[in-house]
Amino acid sequence: MSEDKWDRYCQRLPRRALGFFPTPVMELRRLTDRLGGPRILMKRDDLTGLALGGNKVRKLELLVGDALGQGCDTLVTGGAAQSNHCRQTAAAAAACGLGCHLVLGGEAPPVAEGNLLLDLLFGAQIHWTGPLRKGEKIPEIATRLKADGLRPYVVPYGGSGPLGAAGFVDAARELRMQLEALGCDISHLVFASSSGGTQAGLVVGKAAHGGSFDVVGIGIDKEGVGEEPLRERVLRLAGETARLIGFDCAFSARDIIVREECLGSGYGVVGDAEREAIRLVAETEGVLLDPVYTGRAMAGLLGMIESRDLTADDTVLFWHTGGAPALFPHARELA
Ligand SMILES: *Cc1c(COP(=O)(O)O)cnc(C)c1O
């Protein structure tokens, strides 16, 4: 897509600045040396700036822009009790003077820790929904808020509708410009993939802005969202996102690489693989991964090296999507 066309399209999308961009790209030299290659770079979306950072800020800039454009006064979203997405949404609401209702799986714990503590500090109202941790009750709660005279805006689960995913089309352009400045070509882009918006946006972004690397999502959640497998969800979202931005491009199953060999014992269950990956990166680079997403995704990257799907000739960029606030509630499994 030409720069002109891209700029015109960008001006059409709603946007409220919430974070600090571009996020840094750093070289993980000591990790690369320790592993004997491939060359590993890291994109630091844990440093997006809002409320301890994370990838959802890119989606929320567009979603909150849309909410404000529609004159809404309250954001409603949902997820797991330790949802990073919910924490970033609560912070975005606070920063814009909006109310925030979070629909969280599980029961209220005796002590609020990690992301949940931060949700409360940002003034979010919490609705506990027991076994439902994917925001299943968001529509019901939005209806109730409307009946109370509020103007709720529903932020989709994980921020992963086409508008949220468009934030990652933009991110792919940001990365391309950074790699050009570094004079660096990458062969693989690796990251944690869950509700699919990050991956869909990066797939569309690679097609729109150029790049010859593999976009590799490491699946972190066995259950997926609803009945739809992650691969199909990403493919559908990529098509919807391209359509939204007026980018004429069709995607096929071949464009969607999802690796699901790291699902372990399920969502948020920390095993040896996550623990070792977190320690390795902390000890070699002084960089914190998280127990649920990036720790598992890094374990996936290490697995790709072990199975020789990645070799010393490759250059991999690991997209750090944030999540460190969840380290603390998992202290017992990590220490
Ligand atoms: C939400 C999240 C992801 C996954 O992004 P999706 O767009 O939902 O696939 C990865 N890492 C962290 C830390 C997250 O919070």
Amino acid at 72: C
For residue 60, the CA-to-ligand 1 centroid distance in Å is 13
Residues 6+ apart with CB under 8 A from 200: 160, 162, 165, 168, 234, 237, 238, 240, 241
Question: Which residue minimizes the CA distance to atom 15 of ligand 1?
Answer: 84
Is 82 touching ligand 1 by the criterion CB < 6 Å?
no
pLDDT tens per residue across span 137-159: 999 999 999 999 999 999 999 99
- Statement: residue 136 has pLDDT above 80: yes
For residue 148, the CA-to-ligand 1 centroid distance in Å is 32
Beta bridge partners of 104: 79, 128
For residue 304, the CA-to-ligand 1 centroid distance in Å is 20
According to the model, what pLDDT value does residue 277 have?
Answer: 98
By most ligand atoms within 8 Å of CB, the mutation choice from 63, 155, 225, 321 for ligand 1 is: 321
Residue pair 59/196 in contact by the 8 Å Cβ criterion: no
Q: H or E stretch including 320?
A: strand 315-320
CA-to-CA separations, 253 to 136, 198, 250, in angstroms, rounded: 28, 17, 10
- Statement: residue 309 has pLDDT above 90: yes
State yes or no: is 2 an active-site residue: no
According to the model, what pLDDT value does residue 169 have?
Answer: 96
According to the model, what pLDDT value does residue 4 have?
Answer: 79
Name the active-site residue from 2, 83, 193, 195. 83
According to the model, what pLDDT value does residue 142 have?
Answer: 97
For residue 322, the CA-to-ligand 1 centroid distance in Å is 8
By most ligand atoms within 8 Å of CB, the mutation choice from 48, 62, 84 for ligand 1 is: 84
Angle at CA of residue 232, ends 226 and 238, nearest 5°: 110
Q: H or E stretch including 116?
A: helix 114-121
Alpha-carbon dihedral sign for residues 226, 229, 232, 233: positive
| 75-90 burial code (b ≥16 CB/10 A, e <16) | bbbbbbbbbbbbbbbb
Residue pair 100/93 in contact by the 8 Å Cβ criterion: yes
Higher per-residue confidence, 131 vs 190: 190
Nearest residue to 171 via CA among 189, 192, 210, 198: 198
Per the rule left: phi > 0, alpha: psi between -120 and 50, beta: everything else, 289 is: beta
Backbone angles phi, psi at 284, to 5 degrees: -90, -30
- Statement: residue 9 has pLDDT above 90: no
Tokens of 234: 């990403």
Task: Name the average pLDDT for the chain.
Answer: 96
Atom nearest to 322 CA in ligand 1: 13
For residue 234, the CA-to-ligand 1 centroid distance in Å is 13
How confident is residue 265, by pLDDT bands cut at 50, 70 and 90?
A: confident
Q: Given the DSSP bridges, would you call strands 188-193 and 315-320 parallel, antiparallel or unpaired?
A: parallel
For residues 252 and 243, what is the distance between their CA atoms, to the nearest angstrom? Answer: 15
Return the axis-axis angle of helices 162-182 and 56-69, rounded to nearest 10°.
Answer: 130
Amino acid at 170: D
By most ligand atoms within 8 Å of CB, the mutation choice from 48, 55, 237 for ligand 1 is: 55
Beta bridge partners of 43: 25, 319
Per DSSP, the three-state class of 9 is helix
pTM above 0.85, yes or no: yes
Beta-carbon count within 10 A of 141 CB: 20
Atom nearest to 168 CA in ligand 1: 7
Atom nearest to 46 CA in ligand 1: 13
Is 198 touching ligand 1 by the criterion CB < 6 Å?
yes
Is 84 touching ligand 1 by the criterion CB < 6 Å?
yes
- Statement: residue 3 has pLDDT above 90: no
For residues 34 and 25, what is the distance between their CA atoms, to the nearest angstrom? Answer: 20
Across 283-289, average pLDDT = 98
